[in-house]
A and B are shown apart, each in its own frame.
Chain A
Amino acid sequence: MTAIAAPRRVAVEETAAAGTSFALQVGILLSRLLRQLAVAPTTYINLMISLFFLFVYTGAFGASQGFEQLIGAKFLTFILPVSIVNASLAGSVAGQLLVSDLESGYLRRLQAMPISRLAIVLAPMLVGALLVVAQAALVLGLGFAMGVESATGVAGVAVVLALSLLWGMAFAGYAVATGLLAGNAATAQAATFVFFPLVFLAPTFLPREQLQDWLQAAAVINPTTYVLEAMRSVLIDGWQLETLAAGFGVIGGLCLLASLWAARVARRTTARR
């Protein structure tokens, strides 16, 4: 090895791409997905449905004093958590975004680059989380503007947002796992229709005690029930630790399970086989 040869080796070495930090990788991928979301109609459709719950059901039942006596609260306050839970379904975009990249082949292109496999999956999950918080906050803000009051003040609002984020990320994890397993957008879309029983086989329009027996039985095994009840408790009744513990316990556990499942499936999808 002579001293003269060294500089030539340096010149060759320099042609390797430097790569970027993990944070920047996530940032670059994130900004791309956010731009995609901004022009995707589904982003707005879900928000519309959430607002539909708020406006239309309040329009229908909100003026009935008999109904408010039955549920023991202002109808608007009672229905707001339903709207927020629905808004949190937006977390499923994480799955949709990943599947569309899987289908287009863009995912493979990324896999041939010096990028962390985790960043590739984390970016859409973060987009899902951002969308959940943004939509839940928007619905919450609208609710307050329309006259919702929180029995536990600002802290209660934070609790509602935290519950919506957990619910949203549980759904995001589910959407990512089923979407990647299915490998195509149509099946992934079909899998998210599980939201229908989740939102409606629950104390959605009446407290649990007032439901018919079969619906009560279904509500008991539906995690959404505990999320709705926890949100209502802080908005309507004040701090009820047992209800809160049930809400956070159920949805926290579910979120953990869904995330683990998503991580497992994503790991298999992005691994070399």
Chain B
Amino acid sequence: MPAAARLFTEHHLMHSQPTASEPAIEVSELVKRYAPTAKPAVDGLSFHVGPGEIYALLGPNGSGKSPTIGVLATLLAPDAGRILVAGHDAVTEPDAVRRRIGVALQETGVDAAARGHDLIVRHARLLGMTRAAAATRASQLLEEFDLAEAGSRRLRTYSGGMRRRLDLALALTGHPRVVFLDEPTTGLDPISRQELWERVRRRRAEGVAVLLTTQYLEEADALADRIGIVAAGQLRIEGTADELKRTVGGDVLTIEVDEPDGARTAAVLAAVHEGGGRVRLEVRDGGAALPRVLARLAAAGLETRSVSLARPTLDDVFRHVVGGHLAHVQASMEPAA
């Protein structure tokens, strides 16, 4: 190899960045506690996200999602664990990490008196773009996020959805390799939510690694390539939506009976009583189980009003691993988009 070529190669080896095979985010045994005596907010979390992958941390309020994002985005110091973001250690090389990430925190941090366009321009300039490049980038992003007209207005005139979009635009200003989105769609209406999902998917197509947190099952299901369910600061289960659903096993039968209190039905079927005349039963094969269930109810003298059969949802997974409920997007209220 000629000397010049070797120098070139070595130089770039020293600054070696994750290639497609290396994870963009690698977290192992992350612990974060806010007070020495307090229960850790994040308690030994490990996961990784690859380039061009959308990973969702799914969990209820207080499960430690935001503290995790805080540590990865170099805003909080971990108490233990190793965190690599875009190939750099978040603890020892925070600035190297900051050059490669985009962050949209749960609470949008912007001064209400600023104008959208100015805010992006300033952000871009702080990241090192020239005045002209920053202005171009701002126009580009405002256009993509349907804020072209609002760009010249002060942020106090923006709706919640507009602020969220601006927040995402700011996170993407510097063409980051890794993007952190902490509950990006909380409080958004169904259409805005889907539009935001679409914009996040576009980044995946560009090879960006996206780590988002959500308390919406549908969001994780629709958007994420992989999902990690967290509770009390711990990762309870991880996988693609289908993998997770398969862990629950079978299908779900929901049976309504003509019994004011469904307790007897539940007992007869050894099923979960959901209150009122509703009973919930998990079976391996819903189609095969149905006739037997009906037969047994008839034998017990219980009249069946309706039966519905459903494949497992992430909620079922969640119920299994955590024993609680998560928020649902009210998809039924959604107008046809």
Contact = CB atoms under 8 A, between A and B. Distances in A.
Given A6-B8, A17-B174, A112-B101, A106 B111 contact: yes
A16 interface: yes
A105 B108 contact: yes
B75 A272 contact: yes
B201 interface: no
B12 A13 contact: yes
A8 B175 CA distance: 17
A106 B109 contact: yes
Contacts of A18: 99, 127-128
Given A9-B16, A28-B126, A104 B112 contact: yes
A28 B125 contact: yes
A212 interface: no
Given A3-B5, A19-B127, A9 B105 contact: no
A272 B126 contact: no
Contacts of B101: 112
Interface string A17-34: 111100011001000100
B122 A109 contact: no
Interface string A92-107: 0000000011001111
B16 A114 contact: no
Contacts, number: 114
B77 interface: yes
Contacts of B170: 109
A154 interface: no
A130 B108 CA distance: 30
Given A9-B17, A9-B19, A108-B105, A17 B127 contact: yes
Interface in A155-203: none
Interface residues of A, number: 37
B110 interface: yes
B15 to A, nearest CB: 6
A37 to B, nearest CB: 11
- Judged by DSSP, the binding face of B is loop
Residue picked from A17, A28, A101, A115, most chain B C-beta under 10 Å:
A17
B76 A272 contact: yes
B174 A28 contact: no
A28 B128 contact: no
A12 interface: yes
Interface in A26-56: 28, 32, 36, 39
Contact of A104 (B73, B110, B176): B110
Contact of B19 (A8, A20, A115): A8
A97 to B, nearest CB: 10
Given A106-B111, A108-B109, A25 B17 contact: no
B109 A107 contact: yes
B9 A17 contact: no
Contact of A20 (B8, B74, B113, B125): B125
A107 B75 CA distance: 11
B258 interface: no
A272 B17 contact: no
Interface residues of B, number: 45
Contact of A17 (B16, B17, B100): B100
B111 A15 contact: no
B76 to A, nearest CB: 6
Given A6-B8, A9-B16, A17-B174, A109 B110 contact: yes
A106 B170 CA distance: 12
Contacts of B174: 17
Residue picked from A3, A39, A105, A109, most chain B C-beta under 10 Å:
A109
Interface string A106-142: 1111111111000000000000000000000000000
Given A28-B126, A273-B77, A105 B15 contact: no
Given A113-B126, A114-B127, A13 B17 contact: yes
Residue picked from A5, A107, A110, A114, most chain B C-beta under 10 Å:
A114
25 contacts: A1-B9, A3-B9, A9-B13, A12-B18, A13-B17, A15-B176, A16-B17, A16-B86, A17-B99, A17-B175, A18-B128, A24-B125, A28-B125, A28-B126, A32-B122, A36-B111, A104-B112, A105-B105, A105-B108, A109-B109, A111-B75, A112-B73, A112-B75, A113-B127, A273-B77
Given A16-B99, A36-B111, 10 more contacts: A6-B8, A13-B12, A17-B175, A19-B95, A20-B126, A20-B128, A109-B109, A109-B170, A113-B126, A114-B126
Interface of B: 1, 5, 8-9, 12-13, 15-19, 73-77, 86, 94-96, 98-101, 103, 105, 107-114, 122-123, 125-128, 170, 174-177
Interface of A: 1, 3, 5-6, 8-10, 12-13, 15-20, 24-25, 28, 32, 36, 39, 100-101, 104-115, 272-273
